[in-house]
Amino acid sequence: MKIPAWLENAIFYEIYPQSFMDSNNDGIGDFKGIIQKLDYIKELGCNAIWMNPCFDSPFGDAGYDVADYYKAAPRYGTNDDLKLLFEEVHKRGMHILLDLVPGHTSTEHKWFKESLKAEKNEFSDRYVWTDSIWEEPEGMGCIRGISDRDGSCAVNFFSHQPALNYGFYNPNPEKKWQQPMDAPGPQATLQAMKDVMAFWLKMGCDGFRVDMAGSLVKHDENSKGTISLWQNVREFLDKEFPDAAMISEWGEPDKSILGGFHMDFLLHFGPSHYNDLFRCEQPYFSSRGKGTAFEFIKKYKENYEKSDKKGLICIPSGNHDMDRLARHLSVEEMKVAFAFLLTMPGAPFIYYGDEIGMRYVENLISVEGGYGRTGSRSPMQWDNSTNAGFSLAPKEKLYIPQDESSDRPTVESQMKDENSLWKEIQKLIKVRQETPLLQNLAEIEFLSDGSTYPLVYQRIEKSTQEKITVILNPSEKECSYKIEDGQIICSNSSKAKIDKKDGKIFVPPVSYAIVKNQ
């Protein structure tokens, strides 16, 4: 499979549209607001954007409950505004992925409303329905008793998100409602989703981040059915939109890459041990120095091997589903964490606001199905003006309350401060952009196992044996590491030094060094 050339060096910025920039002062972010801030994203150094769902929706799950796949949510703007956003992104040499939610819709979607009817119609098989109200689709949760249709409809996530029907990998012959993947209902669902993709790709988006990509086919032994479904989608894309980029929220790169995805996200749940790094009682990147990255690296290596040693695993700084990085790490610790995130293979993803260490807003009442996630979704803090420059709406109309602390970080102040997290990230991105060996597809070899400090790995060009060594010391004790020769090309400390006589590099507390080997 060919990876679109731009993806080889893409550094993504995740935009949660409702909280990024409000251009019409209604308290909610919008497309025009995003357009106003594209130059900002470019100045940080990111060259690609992933935008969370922006389609018409009752917003019971912040837009992951789509009511119309073909219509931009009016609160963000029109389809024409979205098209303009694509154009403005491209004008700046950047790319943008939309968020495709193929596993479920909102109960407000017209497909679902039709499928609720007792009389058989075009949409009766669009969702996973049992054929009696008294039978539940086991292990899936369901919606039932809300219409005359005699059946229960499986749900995919929240109970207002009915599961679209892509069929069962191993349908039980005694349960006729479990349709095989090639039955007309599942085939029509798949075609409908391809039509949605074609619509937005023609409009100018560059591809999709795919929500719960591994969840489509039910009772799917080893995901075989879902893999073949995505292979089928890739074939269609290769014919009609060969440059469309696909990145999955799946967390099992051996499966997703086989399914034709270009890259896969590392997930904060499941077996990845991602949380050991930044989000647990003793994170590895905390200066307390009591954490371990051992299990993380073990798992990462397994997945790396399984995905052909390519940089196909994307490690995000955070996202709209996790706590803010700043809830667990100090600014100085975050600098070392970003040195890791920006020197690993796979496309890095920076969650809006993480570049200034935006804090998790504690004790909020859930907004739009956010629950504990709400505190990570507060409006962006641009400057010291009204509502931190996000919106001129009265404060109580803001989509989510902002961080009220007097020392809340802002973009404006950090862009002026040479020692800020923002400047550190800008510097790291620049080094990555200038150094092909640090980019998404160059190989990695770990020189330490993550059980101690420092964490050391090399990015390698096998053909020329060119190497870059990354030494990360999040701990409060100075570390050293044996190194033959080389030159430090980036560090957050002027005291990081290579002692050629000793053949060692010394890395001060809470610092990192990126070394070009000679």
Assess 101 for contact with ligand NOJ (CB under 6 A).
yes
Q: In angstroms, what is the minimal distance from the CB of 174 to ligand NOJ?
A: 31
Q: In angstroms, what is the minimal distance from the CB of 449 to ligand NOJ?
A: 31
Assess 160 for contact with ligand NOJ (CB under 6 A).
no
Q: In angstroms, what is the minimal distance from the CB of 509 to ligand NOJ?
A: 35
- The DSSP 8-state label assigned to residue 313 in this structure reads E
Q: Give 280: exposed, middle or buried? Use CB within 10 Å, 0-12, 13-18, 19+.
A: middle
Six token digits for residue 438? 């640090």
- 165: which residues sit within 8 A by CB, 6+ positions away? 125, 126, 127, 128, 129, 179, 185, 186, 189
Assess 321 for contact with ligand NOJ (CB under 6 A).
yes
- 231-240: long-range contacts (C-beta < 8 A, 24 or more apart)? 231/258, 231/259, 231/260, 232/190, 233/190, 233/193, 233/194, 233/197, 233/260, 234/1, 234/259, 234/260, 235/260, 236/194, 237/197, 240/198, 240/201
Assess 212 for contact with ligand NOJ (CB under 6 A).
yes
**Is the Cβ of residue 211 or residue 424 nearer to ligand NOJ in the bound state?**
211
Q: Please, which residues bridge with residue 162 across strands? A: 155
Residues within window 362-401 making contact with ligand NOJ, judged by CB under 6 A: none
Beta-strand relationship, 142-144 and 152-154: antiparallel
Assess 181 for contact with ligand NOJ (CB under 6 A).
no
- The DSSP 8-state label assigned to residue 216 in this structure reads S
Assess 247 for contact with ligand NOJ (CB under 6 A).
no
Quick check: helix, strand or coil at residue 102? Answer: coil
Assess 211 for contact with ligand NOJ (CB under 6 A).
yes
Q: Report how many residues bind ligand NOJ under the rule CB under 6 A.
A: 9
Q: Which of 112, 157, 284, 300 binds ligand NOJ (CB under 6 A)?
A: 157
Q: In angstroms, what is the minimal distance from the CB of 104 to ligand NOJ?
A: 7
Interface mask toward ligand NOJ for 60-89; x: CB under 6 A: -x--x-------------------------
- 341-344: long-range contacts (C-beta < 8 A, 24 or more apart)? 341/315, 341/316, 341/317, 342/11, 342/425, 342/428, 342/429, 342/431, 342/432, 342/438, 343/428, 343/432, 343/438, 343/459, 343/468, 343/470, 343/514, 344/311, 344/315, 344/444
Assess 332 for contact with ligand NOJ (CB under 6 A).
no
Residue showing the smallest CB distance to ligand NOJ in the complex: 64
Q: In angstroms, what is the minimal distance from the CB of 156 to ligand NOJ?
A: 7
Q: In angstroms, what is the minimal distance from the CB of 264 to ligand NOJ?
A: 14
Residues within window 26-65 making contact with ligand NOJ, judged by CB under 6 A: 61, 64
Q: In angstroms, what is the minimal distance from the CB of 211 to ligand NOJ?
A: 5
**Is the Cβ of residue 101 or residue 496 nearer to ligand NOJ in the bound state?**
101
Q: Which of 75, 109, 320, 432 binds ligand NOJ (CB under 6 A)?
A: 320
Footprint on this chain of ligand NOJ (rule: CB under 6 A): 61, 64, 101, 157, 211-212, 249, 320-321
